[in-house]
């Protein structure tokens, strides 16, 4: 083994880059829905050894040269993001005549652009790269900081966080209630890099063995704490609230076909009213009927016949919550919003929310006024880019507590509830249309991220997805009801109660800050002392 590690450290040129690429791609096995976390015990040490070998060639760490640590990090990140986000290819093949030619550029551009963050992280780690076990903390701190940065700059894209690799069980997912997903990135990397203390032999030390023992103890403690937290959880529901979630499983190719508008609307009505058994009597006992994002192949507010049909569908006391495209028409060009409407049994729209965080290039084109006249349009089949909403706020949905609406992509951002202000909502409402991504692993990753928000905030999650995954989870992220990917049907469920705000909901990324200060501090101290010995 020592000979193999020595070979990894000495490898150079294109071989080093290829190994980094393969290690990053293999690391995707630790992400949902695969959840094979132990693969990181192989791939992260490989990254450490490659960075060891690049030490003599880095000369300052921030130059983009084949031998530098930036390059090693970039190629690792390109494998991580390139394969981990390969499911986006499905979206470009929904309308291949419009978008297929852009697919190679999108995959390479997205993977390569996001890999810059991992390259910068390895460059930062190189500035304080000590010998021995503390270099693992240097890498974990830098990559966790890069995850946080990636989630915030240029509107943010916190997908494929390293912390998601610890979400494979309900027990380990509970860590998010303390640290959030960004803090989990530090923990995952600090754990996964531990085998690097064993090789090469010349770097073995008593401190390294203490670190390795601490890692195994930490794994047991974290899993045990999560299990204890769940064992004390009470299964309480909100009295007098009964939900029906509709998952119509409409193919994305049909979704905006004007010739199928009546067929699609009829499917929603049929599923909503379906009587599925003695205890599932359609809408007679339902207080809240929930349809997914952009449910209608038309602008609902401009279709009085559709609103009248909804009024006829809804019994007294039943409210419809639905995704819909909303259009504001004025003297200039119309403004298009991706919205949620709350509709009373009379057919009247009593509340609305406009999506604030739009998907770049999917729903909105940057510099749209200049690029759209050139024919560069968003993936969504709309006449122009969507307009973002002005603020995030809860929806009043009596007799249920107020809900924080999050449309599709908005659910992937940790700390979202804090941006909505007071009072604290009673549940998270996520409407989405993952039909864009077929049966790939993208929708499963999206669902896992939604569950993570429930754990972080101590709030139940109600999720309606066109083709899945639709579900209800409790405030600990545990799945109560689910409709799998691609299945048409409904979920009838009670609304779980919220719990007291956990540490992360109250203090945000304070734990991550503590991790980074400790991690970088130990590395700096170890570089100038014998701590690594």
Which tens digits make up the pLDDT trace of 390-401? 989 999 999 999
Q: What is the homologous superfamily of the domain 237-498 according to CATH?
A: Carbon-nitrogen hydrolase (3.60.110.10)
pLDDT greater than 50 at residue 62 = no
pLDDT digits (tens, 9 = 90+) for 224-277: 999 999 999 988 999 999 999 999 999 888 887 888 889 999 999 999 999 887
CA distances from 495 to 56, 125, 214, 342, 448 (A): 59, 46, 40, 17, 19
Q: Which of 355, 363, 457, 523 is catalytic?
A: 355
Q: Could you confirm whether 260 is annotated as catalytic? A: no
**255 is known as an active-site residue:** no
Sign of the four-CA dihedral 145, 151, 157, 163: positive
Domain coordinates in residue numbering, the chain: 2-231+517-527, 237-498
Q: pLDDT-derived band of residue 339, with 50, 70 and 90 as boundaries?
A: very high
pLDDT tens digits along 290-309: 999 999 889 999 999 999 99
Banded pLDDT at 57 (limits 50, 70, 90) = low
The per-residue pLDDT for 532 is 57
DSSP 454-494: HHHHT--EEEEESSS-EEEE-TTS-EEEEE-TT--EEEEEE
pTM of the model: 0.92
From its phi and psi, is residue 421 left (phi > 0), alpha (psi between -120 and 50) or beta? left
Active site residue 59: no
Q: Are 401 and 429 a contacting pair, CB within 8 Å?
A: no
Exposure class string for 352-373: b at 16+ Cβ within 10 A, else e: bbbbbbbbbbbbbbeebeeeee
Catalytic, out of 90, 255, 363, 408: 408
**Which among 90, 255, 293, 363 is annotated as catalytic?**
293
Strand ranges in 258-348 using DSSP code E only, listed in sequence order: 275-277, 280-281, 288-290, 319-328, 335-343
The DSSP 8-state label assigned to residue 199 in this structure reads S
Q: How confident is the model at residue 196 (pLDDT cuts 50, 70, 90)?
A: very high
Tokens of 355: 């999506």
Distance CA 281, CA 271 (A): 12
């Amino acid at each position: 083994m020592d000979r193999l590690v020595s070979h990894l450290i000495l490898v150079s040129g294109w071989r080093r880059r290829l190994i980094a690429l393969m290690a990053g791609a293999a690391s995707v096995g630790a992400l949902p829905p695969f959840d094979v976390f132990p693969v990181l015990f192989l791939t992260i040490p490989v990254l450490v050894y490659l960075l060891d070998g690049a030490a003599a060639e880095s000369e300052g760490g921030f130059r983009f040269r084949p031998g530098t640590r930036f390059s090693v990090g970039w190629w690792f990140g390109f494998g991580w993001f390139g394969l981990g986000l390969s499911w986006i290819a499905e979206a470009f093949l929904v309308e291949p005549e419009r978008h297929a030619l852009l697919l190679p550029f999108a995959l390479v551009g997205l993977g390569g652009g996001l890999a810059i963050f991992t390259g910068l992280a390895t460059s930062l780690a190189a500035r304080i790269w000590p010998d021995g076990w503390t270099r693992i903390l240097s890498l974990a701190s830098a990559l966790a900081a890069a995850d946080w940065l990636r989630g915030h700059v240029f509107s943010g894209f916190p997908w494929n966080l390293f912390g998601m690799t610890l979400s494979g069980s309900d027990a380990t997912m509970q860590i998010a209630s303390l640290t959030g997903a960004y803090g989990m990135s530090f923990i995952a990397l600090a754990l996964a890099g531990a085998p690097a203390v064993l090789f090469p032999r010349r770097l073995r030390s008593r401190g390294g063995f203490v670190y390795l023992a601490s890692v195994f103890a930490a794994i047991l403690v974290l899993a045990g704490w999560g299990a204890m937290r769940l064992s004390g959880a009470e299964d309480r529901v909100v009295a007098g609230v009964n939900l029906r979630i509709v998952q119509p499983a409409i193919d994305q190719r049909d979704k905006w076909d004007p010739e199928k508008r009546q067929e699609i609307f009829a499917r929603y009505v049929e599923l909503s009213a379906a009587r599925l058994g003695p205890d599932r009597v359609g809408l007679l006992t339902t207080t809240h009927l929930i349809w997914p994002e952009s449910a209608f192949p038309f602008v609902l507010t401009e279709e009085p016949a559709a609103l009248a049909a909804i009024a006829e569908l809804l019994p007294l006391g039943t409210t419809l919550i639905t995704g819909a495209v909303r259009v504001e028409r004025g003297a200039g060009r119309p403004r298009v919003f991706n919205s949620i409407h709350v509709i009373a049994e009379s057919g009247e729209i009593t509340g609305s929310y406009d999506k604030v965080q739009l998907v770049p290039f999917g729903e909105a084109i940057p510099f749209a006024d200049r690029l759209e006249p050139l024919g560069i349009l968003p993936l969504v089949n709309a006449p122009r880019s969507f307009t973002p909403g002005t603020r995030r706020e809860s929806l009043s949905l009596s007799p249920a507590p107020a809900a924080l609406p999050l449309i599709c992509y908005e659910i992937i951002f940790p700390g979202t509830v804090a941006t909505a202000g007071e009072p604290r909502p009673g549940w998270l409402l996520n409407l989405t249309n993952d039909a864009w991504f077929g049966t790939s692993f993208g929708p499963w990753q999206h669902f896992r991220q939604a569950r993570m928000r429930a754990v972080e905030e101590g709030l139940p999650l109600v999720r309606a997805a066109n083709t899945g995954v639709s579900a209800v989870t409790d405030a600990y992220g545990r799945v109560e009801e689910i409709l799998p990917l691609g299945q048409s049907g409904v979920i009838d469920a009670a609304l779980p109660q919220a719990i007291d705000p956990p540490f992360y909901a109250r203090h945000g990324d304070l734990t991550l800050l503590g991790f980074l200060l400790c991690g970088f501090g130990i590395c700096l101290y170890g570089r100038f002392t014998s701590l690594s010995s």
